[in-house]
Structure 1
Amino acid sequence: MTEIRRPRGRPRKVKPEDAQPLLVPIGLHERASQHLRELILTGVLAPGQELVEADLSATLGVSRTPVREALKLLAVEGLVELRPNRSARVPDLQAEAITQLFEAIAGIERIAAEFAAVRITDVELAHLRALQDEMEGYYRATDLAPYFVINQQIHRLIVSASRNRPLQEAHESLYGRAELVRRRALRTPERWDESVAEHRAIFHALEARDALRAGALLCDHVGRTGTAVLNHLSAVQRSPDKACVSVR
């Protein structure tokens, strides 16, 4: 038990359950980065748009210092491009960069799904099933914003279930950049229909502990999303499905 000493008298013993939890406040720069991230991912701050610190400071109601730190955080995620002696900006959506990005993520998620199929726990499978049901509910309601949030959680859960930290770190370092464009693919009704069906098939493969099928399905799913993004942006018609080469 913890003792609290007072100026006078005997020390009073405090039971652990009476102790107050330690609160860790979120810094201004972290709050600013959260707000800016959402503005970028929802397209309020469009690709190619300059991010003037003074304007962002006024919009967010904070000084320029936390804004500057927030931009550095988002640059690490690939959501902001820092330029020497110039204002930062939201990166342009270049076809070749998008293709390479989805190739990389498709390969990572394929390997992760193969590991996850044999390492995922029953508790994680139950959680994945609940997320799938929740996501399909938002799909039927045509409510894209919460659908997309659950979609992200599913992808991250599968990678986490691989029990491979380097894979998780590589995936997380790239996933923020993919968020910048993935929402645009789901705005196409046909792709949204396909995506839901693909997610369902991926879950069934994981549930059956079928590593090769789970990996192939997830790789193909990510590749199709990349292609849909390119098509939606009226860019080149090259498919990222080349990432779907067996790793075994």
Structure 2
Amino acid sequence: MIEQLGVGRTPLREAFKILEAEGLVSIVPNRGAVVTQLTPSDVEAVMTVLIGLEGVASEPACAQVTPAQFMSIENDHLKMMDCHRRGDLMGYFHLNQSIHQKIVDCAGNAPLSRIYKAECARIGRYRLAGNRNATRWATAVSEHEQILGAIRNREGALLRELLRVHHLNGWRKTREVLEAELASTAHSAAGAKAPQAGKRSAAGRKKSHPESV
């Protein structure tokens, strides 16, 4: 990695410390930095925080949003809709994240924006899973149309509720996907252990009955 990035060990080590502090990686002895794996409950806890942060930001964001800020959000929204039409999930996801961050930023609260950004980074790869479902993706698009309308009309209370419902709907589908993936992984792991257990059992029988050799 040092050669790939063209940096020294010290900057790389410091970067990993920052990522570890943000909960994105874990430093494991003799292995180095490993991407942190979160459980569905972990992700749900972060989602609860994000909903709360957006709730705090909604009314001041609607009250303070400037024409330039709204135009930036609207442009991202239009690009995001185009991604949906083209089936570009990754492009959609990045624009979606940008829109939500810009909404929070409109509140003009730097600590709020900073915490929101950090928590989003922790669960970004998990949230992407929810929109892999075509029905949920289409619903999310409709929800974003309403969200944009609330910002345009400076309806802070409505925006707060729309964002809350939007995230809860998304999390419901994301949780289904994550739990299915965990179940599949556990099943595969159990299947991989079974042949090894069989080999150990056979070896034990040979030791117990040397005359059979």
CA distance in 2, matches of 1:212, 1:62: 48
Gaps of 5+ in 1: 1-55, 236-248
Q: Which digits, 9 at most, give the CA deviation of each residue in 1:50-91, with x for residues without a partner?
A: xxxxxx446656554443233223223322122456533111
Superposition pairs for residues 1-248 of structure 1, below 5 Å? Answer: 56-57=1-2, 60=5, 64-83=9-28, 87-234=32-179
Specify every segment of 5 or more residues in structure 2 that has no aligned partner in the other structure, as ranges.
181-213
Any idea what SS the aligned residue of 2:26 has? coil
Cα distance, 1:169–1:63 mapped onto 2, change above 3 Å: closer
Structure 2 CA distance, aligned partners of 1:57 and 1:225? 38
- Secondary structure at the residue paired with 1:82? strand
> Residue in 1 aligned with 2:205?
none
* Cα RMSD for the two superposed structures: 2.0
Note closer, same or farther for the CA distance 1:123–1:63 as it changes in structure 2 (3 Å cut): closer
Q: Which amino acid aligns with 1:120?
A: V
Q: Please state how far the C-alpha of 1:195 moved relative to its aligned partner.
A: 1.2
User: For residues 82 and 115 of structure 1, what CA distance do their matches in structure 2 show?
Assistant: 39
TM-score when scaled to structure 1?
0.66
* Number of matched pairs: 180
* Structure 1 Cα separation of the partners of residues 131 and 11 of structure 2: 33
Q: Secondary structure at the match of 2:36?
A: coil
One-letter identity of the residue aligned with 2:129: R
Kindly state the Cα deviation for residue 112 of structure 1 after the two structures are TM-superposed: 0.9
Q: Percent identity?
A: 32
